[in-house]
Amino acid sequence: MQNSKVKITILVDNFAGDGLVSEHGLSFWIETEDKHILFDTGQGGALKNNAHALDIDLGKTDMLVLSHGHYDHTGGIPDVLQMARNVKLYGHPGIIQPRYSMSNEEVKSIKMPRESMVAIDKLPREQLHWVRQPVLLSNTIGITGPIPRETSFEDPGGPFYLDPRGKNADFIDDDLALWIRKDDGLIVCVGCAHSGLVNTLKHIRYLNPGLRIRGIIGGFHLLNASRQRLDETIIALHVFESDSVIPCHCTGDVAVTLLREVLGDRVSYGTAGMTYEF
Ligand SMILES: [Fe+2]
Ligand SMILES: [Fe+2]
């Protein structure tokens, strides 16, 4: 059985429609035939407000999937776990580790907020699913687990470290993506695509042989990308025959402009409040 109905609403993004809160962060509400999945939670300030304004009941969340452990994807966890008492949480064990970004000698902690870690710690064990390999959430929905880093032109996308002195690079091994299978192809959700968008799409194709990738939504993290990386990403989107590309969050204006120039109206910028039916 394939999903005849897939509806994705952007709950949190760096930009937001009228009456909604914007913040540097990401969260998607995914509705399929029989599942309500929350993919990431933003920093925590916008999630509840925007869900309420969009008439989305977070209490109905069946599954909470965390793309990786950065603060701008995990801050709303306490609210979700409080509202959806039976929710199953999926994430790589690395999401709770300390981590930092560094620019111009300035060190910033970008780990999951403490309140979110405490909330996860209180979750009944049977509701907590640590993801170390590909996992099926249903017959037609899956999460990748760690994504092999194969391309030469992609990297995690920033000065990320596991220690505040910048000695140990953080390759963001906890990064994962979600896919939904439909008759005519796959819909892919990424958080920040720290594994590289091309690596991510290749791995999802490997997990779903023969299916094209019809839709891609999420943060592509191409802010600091080289021209080669941008060009290779666009070529891959051609190869995977994606007819709906929705960059959000950390994709970067230069990358979005280039994507639109080359792929035309297959590309539309996603902001909080927008809903897509696939
Ligand atoms: Fe992010
Ligand atoms: Fe991130």
CATH of the domain at 269: 3.60.15.10
Question: Which tokens in the block code for residue 174?
Answer: 């906890």
> Ligand 1 centroid vs 264 CA: distance in angstroms?
25
> Ligand 2 centroid vs 93 CA: distance in angstroms?
15
| Residue reference for tokens 């925007």 | 50
Is the pLDDT at 142 greater than 80? The verdict is: yes
**How do residues 18-51 score in pLDDT, each as one tens digit?**
999 999 999 999 999 889 999 999 999 999 999 9
Question: Quick one: which ligand is closest to 73's CA?
Answer: 1
93 secondary structure, DSSP code: G
**How do residues 81-104 score in pLDDT, each as one tens digit?**
999 999 999 999 999 999 999 988
Q: What is the pLDDT of residue 67?
A: 98
Residue (of 82, 107, 101) closest to 157 by Cα position? 101
Q: What total number of domains does the chain contain?
A: 1
Distance, CA of 52 to CA of 177 (rounded, Å):
26
Considering the domain boundaries, does residue 2 fall inside one? Answer: no
Q: What is the pLDDT of residue 197?
A: 97
244-248 and 213-219 strand pairing: parallel
> Ligand 1 centroid vs 13 CA: distance in angstroms?
9
Is the pLDDT at 241 greater than 90? The verdict is: no
- DSSP secondary structure of 121-165: HHS-GGGEEE-SS-EESSSSEEE--S-----SS---SS-EESSTT
Question: Quick one: which ligand is closest to 250's CA?
Answer: 1
Strands of the sheet with 7-12, listed across from one edge: 128-130, 88-91, 63-65, 36-39, 27-31, 7-12, 275-277
Q: Is the pTM of this model over 0.95?
A: yes
Considering the domain boundaries, does residue 238 fall inside one? Answer: yes
Considering the domain boundaries, does residue 1 fall inside one? Answer: no
Mean pLDDT of the chain: 95
> Ligand 1 centroid vs 255 CA: distance in angstroms?
16
First-residue to last-residue Cα distance in the chain: 16
Say if residues 214 and 244 touch (Cβ distance below 8 Å).
yes
Distance, CA of 229 to CA of 127 (rounded, Å):
39
> Ligand 1 centroid vs 250 CA: distance in angstroms?
6
- The Cα-based distances of 259 to 10, 92, 170, 262 in angstroms read 20, 30, 28, 5
| Residue reference for tokens 């690395």 | 94
Is the pLDDT at 2 greater than 70? The verdict is: no
Considering the domain boundaries, does residue 187 fall inside one? Answer: yes
> Ligand 2 centroid vs 2 CA: distance in angstroms?
31
Question: Quick one: which ligand is closest to 24's CA?
Answer: 1
Q: What is the pLDDT of residue 62?
A: 98
Cβ-based neighbours of 112, under 8 Å, separated by 6 or more? 69, 70, 71, 74, 75, 77, 95, 96
> Ligand 1 centroid vs 56 CA: distance in angstroms?
22
Q: For residue 124, count CB atoms less than 10 angstroms from its CB and return exposed for 0-12, middle for 13-18, buried for 19 or more.
A: exposed
- The separation between CA 242 and the C-alpha centre of its own chain, rounded to angstroms, equals 18
Say if residues 178 and 208 touch (Cβ distance below 8 Å).
no
Rounded-to-10 torsion of CA 185, 33, 46, 270 = 30
Angle of helix 227-239 relative to helix 197-207, nearest 10 degrees, comes to: 20
- Averaged pLDDT, 125-143: 97
> Ligand 1 centroid vs 210 CA: distance in angstroms?
30
> Ligand 2 centroid vs 183 CA: distance in angstroms?
31
- Between 4 and 50, residue with greater pLDDT: 50
Distance, CA of 129 to CA of 30 (rounded, Å):
19
Range of the domain at 225: 7-277
> Ligand 1 centroid vs 183 CA: distance in angstroms?
30
Q: What is the pLDDT of residue 1?
A: 56
Helices (H) and strands (E) in the chain, counts: 7, 16
